[in-house]
Structures are given as structure tokens and as C-alpha cells.
Amino acid sequence: MDMNERQFIDLLKRRAAPRPGRKVLPGLRQGIGDDCAVLAHTRHKDLLVTTDLFLEGIHFRRSWQQPDSLGHKALARGLSDIAAMGGTPRFVFLSLAVPRNFGKTGKTGKKWLDDFLAGFFRLAARSKVVLAGGDTGASAAGLLADVVVVGDVPRGTAVLRSGAQPGDGIWVSGTLGTAAVGLAALEREKKLRTLEPAFQAFCCPEPRLRIGSYLRSRKLASAMLDLSDGLSIDLARLAEASGVGAEIDAALLPRLPEIPLHNALHGGEDFELLFTVPPDRTHKLPRSLGGVPLTRIGRITSGQKLMLIQDNRKQPLPILGFQHF
Amino acid sequence: MDMNERQFIDLLKRRAAPRPGRKVLPGLRQGIGDDCAVLAHTRHKDLLVTTDLFLEGIHFRRSWQQPDSLGHKALARGLSDIAAMGGTPRFVFLSLAVPRNFGKTGKTGKKWLDDFLAGFFRLAARSKVVLAGGDTGASAAGLLADVVVVGDVPRGTAVLRSGAQPGDGIWVSGTLGTAAVGLAALEREKKLRTLEPAFQAFCCPEPRLRIGSYLRSRKLASAMLDLSDGLSIDLARLAEASGVGAEIDAALLPRLPEIPLHNALHGGEDFELLFTVPPDRTHKLPRSLGGVPLTRIGRITSGQKLMLIQDNRKQPLPILGFQHF
């Protein structure tokens, strides 16, 4: 395509913008540009809605992982968006299209689909999410899914990307770069061999619903998003939405011993939470939640620059995360 | 695929069903099996959610119609689902994936996409629907979209498929089979030549929002759905959901002079409303609404049989509508 994702979204925003003089419909608290849309709901709750494409050959390969882990991941990505707002997921809509020849090739057909659904609904049951609808059809090429998750959050409390202030600490859950190393190994070796942490992180990310909800309910996070495309690009999105700069310290990034710094900085698909904490709330933050570590990796600055501290030098942070086009 | 759509949905329902002893989460008034899911919302409103895949090579071809009419149709299909519940659309989520080579072939690229969005947002503005979010990405093959529409309806008043009673009249809006003739001509001639009614019906269906809302607010419709796959199969769905039979009269089917009976009975993509009217409400029903005729085509019967009256003979109605696999 002759434009990148950013340009496409700009095109979309321009076309979508109400004409001058038309008032925006009431009820939309947060539209395009966050992990979820936030809609006014009851007097006590706001509604969260997120929709994620999951396309064979783009987001996954059938040869790389078991169908039940693919079903898990299809749902986990949407739940992670709800977690990033501090919300509770309630309903899911699954739209699924399968190639016409699906039953006529090797590891596919009804058994494959049943295993995919088993993984999807195992995570749904564990997350107390109910299937409310969807769509089905044939696809011209490859399996494709669109997963819509509807959740809620106490009114006015959804944690947006735009609330970070200079002086806030920058924190992440879990470890960084693990999934990217798993993906790289799969691209090299073409299939899932073991359940090493990197494969597990890539194939079966765990949505951080409990952590997101904890941070929101105790007013610990001033801004939050989930790390789907890589720390550098996702941090840039948070900083831009908040109108601030940021400084992260390479030495602080939580990573497993075998994970290179490059992957921790720029690797996508970790689905950990990136959040900012006001200085006067830091003492309330636990070191871990449900066995998942919470780690301070830097601080929000005034201005717009994104900087990386490495080997006692401060340099501009390169933005290298995943581009969707 | 080695199963049909019905078998796939049965597989999905089985996997999705809460385990015995687990209670269904509150808040879901109507799940899988209607045009929209109905979720409890405020004290005064229920929420409607529908999601529709729109896939190149399956639901449309780029060579057949102008990009702005494709954008229109991508949204019209979702709005039609809201109309079929008698609801008012509020928000739309557009997930769009474009092939990586999109800018490198003939009638594609940024201009094509901008025209697609122009058609989409022209209908959105006319329908007072605001874009609240979505997703973007590359696709492995072909353009693909998933459109989610969120609407609402006064609490407890959504018109379901399941409310038809023996003795109710069976009615349709507009004319039947027109879009199917347009599709057949496109398949034969490979491109859109003129704006004849059949082409227009296929390329730019008009969601019957005003009619759906009128029927709902005046309690005229006991059951309703939109005709996306063809009268025979969609009537079978309404009858099954309501636990009733039906009898339609070939001579009563509203069709343009050039439209064969076969297309009116089984042709998909008309996006007209099919609804049932209790006998004591018939006198309240106008003959047309906003220039669109409303026509009685038969009646609901007890039992489960679907019958067709033709040439003074009553015979079983063949179910030949569009199968998604």
C-alpha cells in the first residue's frame, strides 16, 4: 500500500469527522485513538468496546501453533484492550470466515475448528465472558476472525492513554520482548517445538485483566495502554496522546536472561500493560500482582522527546515497533 | 469446508454454552440467533450490537462497482440489522484490512480507499451514526472489512425473530429479488454498466431504518428480520425461531416486472424487512412508508411446515437461499 498505518488512520479521521457546525452525538466519551471506545452507559457505568482483526498470514500461521492456542490468542488480544482501560469484559462477538477448502487439507476441518473454539471458550469462561453474537462465512484465502469485546467500567474511570503528566513514573507489567523472541524462533524454525517461555508468550498471551482493574480501582494509573506493537511505538502513542515526553532506562527493562535488549525495546505481541503512575501514588503500588511483576522503567517528561538512557548516555529512543502496513 | 453454516453455528453454540450449573450472566437479553444481540443498557434502553464481515471475492468484487457504493454497502448491511430490531443506530466500528500491494495495481490505492470511506461516511452522516473505533491492518489476500454497529431501542421493545404467532400476516417492505438479478447481471457482464434498479439494489441497498422503527414503536410487528440471504431461507429462520409454520402466495410477492419469481423467492441481498403482523394490528399498517411499499405475502400457520401457494396449488416451499459456506 502507498501509505502507512498512520496516514490511513489520518484519512479515516478526516472522513469520519463531523462537519463543522454539526454537533458530536452525545454518549461517545472516547472515540478513535485509545484501546477501546468508551460509550456512556448507565448512571453508574461506561461501556467499553474493542474490535480486533486476527488474520491468517498476517497475525498468525496455522502451522506455527495448536488450534486451541490460536483460539485463546484471538480472544486474549481483545481482552487485553479491555484490561488496558481498567475494565471488566462482559460479552464477546466472534466473526469467523474459513476457506472453502478448509476441510480438504491436512490439519484442518471440523476437528481443527472445534479445537480453536475450545481454546477460545476456555479463556472466555475463565474471564467470565459470554458469546453474544458474531458472523460466519467463507473466506477467499486463509482463516480470518474479527473479535469484538464489550466490557464496562465505573462511570468516568476508564484509564485513557492521554492522562500522563510530567513527573509520573513509567511502569510495565511482566517482562518485555519475550513474545518477539518466540515469533522470531517460529519464523526460523517454522513450528512450535516446546513450551519454552518465548513460545508460550507468543502463542498464549495472558490478558492482564486483574492488573488493569486493580490499577484503575485504586487510581494508581494516570494513563495506560497494552503493549501490542512494541514498547517504543506504544510509548510514543501514549506520549503523543498525553502531550508529553518520556525517558526510559535500558537497564530497568524487565526481561528474561535470554531476551536481547532490542526485543524488549521494540518487540510486539507481549500484551503487557504500559502505564504511568503519579509520584504521590507510587508507594501504593505493589511489586507484583498475582505473581506478575510490576516494574518502573522510566519517567514522563515535559516536552515531546522520547529518550533512552543506556550506558550512562541519554539518546533519542528509536521508534521501531510493528507497523501494520 | 466439510460442514455447512448451520452445522458450524451448532458447533459454536455447543462450545459457547455455559456449563450446566453455571448461570448465564445477567444483561444478555438476546444472544446468538437474531439480527443483533440485545444487551441490557439503562433503565430506559436496551443496546443492540451487530457485526458483519464484508470480504472481497465473497461478498463483493472491486471490479463490479464503484468504491463509494462499496463503502455504502459495507455500512448498509449493519444498519439493516439494526432496522430489523426496530432500533436506532448510534455508533459504528470499522475494521479494514487492505492487501499489501493495494497501491500498486490499477483502480486501487489511496484514491480508491478515500472514495470507499466517502461512501461509508455519507451513509453514516445521513443515518446519524458516528465512528467510534475499529482496527486496521494488512490482509494476505483481498480487501476485507468487519463492520460493527451499536444501536439502541426502548427497553424490552426490540422486535425479535421469535414472536410470530399463527394467524399473523407475513409482510415485506419494498420489492423482492431485485438485488439478485443485479448480482446475476454483474456475474454475467463483469461490471456495473448502468444504474438500473437491479444494479442499484445490489450495489446500494437502502437500510430500512425508518420502517423498522415505525413498526416497532407502534407495536405493529410481532417478529422481524432483514432479508439478506433470500426470502425462503430467511422465512425459514423466522418460522423456526417462532416455532410456527408459514404459507406464502407467489402471486402476492412484490417484484418489478423484469424480476423472475425464482429470484423473488430465493434471491439474497435485498435487505428488505420481513415481518409478521397480528390480525388486530393490520388496519394500523400503512400501505407504504417514505415511498416504500409494504406488502402482505402470506400468513403464519401452526405446525412447522413452510408452504407456497402457486397456480391454486399448495406445495412445500423449497429452501434455496444463500448458504454462507
pLDDT tens for residues A126-177? 999 999 999 988 888 889 999 999 999 999 999 999 999 999 999 999 999 9
**What are the residues facing A150 on neighbouring strands?**
A49, A91
Contacts of A150 in chain B (CB under 8 A): 39, 49
pLDDT string in tens for chain A (325-residue length): 456 677 777 778 777 765 544 444 568 888 888 899 999 888 899 999 999 999 999 899 988 889 999 999 999 999 999 999 999 999 999 999 988 877 665 556 888 999 999 999 999 999 999 999 999 888 888 899 999 999 999 999 999 999 999 999 999 999 999 999 988 888 887 665 556 888 889 999 999 999 999 999 999 999 999 999 999 999 999 999 999 999 999 999 999 999 999 999 999 999 999 999 999 999 999 999 999 999 999 999 999 999 999 999 999 999 987 665 5
Contact A121, B19 (CB under 8 A): no
- Closest CA of chain A from B141, distance in Å: 6
Cβ–Cβ of A58/B137 closer than 8 Å? Answer: yes
pLDDT tens for residues A248-263? 999 999 999 999 999 9
Strands B144-154 and B88-99, sheet pairing: antiparallel
Cβ–Cβ of B113/A8 closer than 8 Å? Answer: yes
Task: Kindly state the DSSP code that residue B283 receives in the 8-state scheme.
Answer: G
CA atoms within a 13 Å half-sphere pointing along the CA-CB vector of A164: 33
Which three-class secondary structure state does DSSP give residue B189?
A: helix
pLDDT tens for residues B12-63? 877 776 554 444 556 888 888 889 999 988 889 999 999 999 999 989 998 8
**CA quadruple B251, B252, B257, B263: dihedral sign:** negative
- State the burial class of residue A71 (Cβ atoms within 10 Å of its Cβ: 0-12, 13-18, 19+): buried
The pTM assigned to this predicted structure is 0.92
- Closest CA of chain B from A318, distance in Å: 22
- Residues contacting B181, CB < 8 A, separation 6+: B198, B258, B259, B260, B263, B267
**What are the residues facing B135 on neighbouring strands?**
B95
Q: Which three cell numbers stand for residue B307?
A: 408452504
Q: Which three cell numbers stand for residue A103?
A: 476441510
Which residue from B minimizes the CA distance to A52? B135
Contacts of B47 in chain A (CB under 8 A): 47
Task: Please tell me which of the candidates B25, B36, B56 has its beta carbon nearest to residue A90.
Answer: B25
- Closest CA of chain B from A207, distance in Å: 19
Cβ–Cβ of B9/A135 closer than 8 Å? Answer: no
**CA–CA separation, A249 and A309 (whole Å):** 5
**CA–CA separation, B25 and A61 (whole Å):** 34
Domains of chain A: 24-154 (3.30.1330.10), 161-316 (3.90.650.10)
| HEC per residue, chain A | CCCCHHHHHHHHHHHHCCCCCCCCCCCEEECCCCCCEEEECCCCEEEEEEEEEEEECCCECCCCCCHHHHHHHHHHHHHHHHHCCCCEEEEEEEEEEEECCHHHCCCCCHHHHHHHHHHHHHHHHHCCCEEEEEEEEEECCCCEEEEEEEEEEECCCCCCHHHCCCCCEEEEECCCCHHHHHHHHHHHHCCCCCCCHHHHHHHCCCCCHHHHHHHHHCCCCCEEEECCCCHHHHHHHHHHHHCCEEEEEHHHCCCCCCCCHHHHHHCCCCCCEEEEECHHHHHHCCCEECCEEEEEEEEEECCCCEEEEECCEEEECCCCCCCCC
| HEC per residue, A38-78 | EEECCCCEEEEEEEEEEEECCCECCCCCCHHHHHHHHHHHH
**CA quadruple A111, A117, A121, A122: dihedral sign:** positive
- Closest CA of chain B from A9, distance in Å: 8
Task: Please tell me which of the candidates B9, B113, B148 has its beta carbon nearest to residue A11.
Answer: B113
Q: Fill in the amino acid letter for A79.
A: L
Q: Does an H or E element contain B185, and which?
A: helix B178-189
Contact A65, A71 (CB under 8 A): no
Largest CA distance in chain B: 61
- Please give the interface size between A and B, counted as residue pairs whose CB atoms are below 8 Å apart: 249
Q: Alpha-carbon Rg of chain B, whole angstroms?
A: 20
**CA–CA separation, B28 and A126 (whole Å):** 18
**CA–CA separation, A16 and A24 (whole Å):** 11
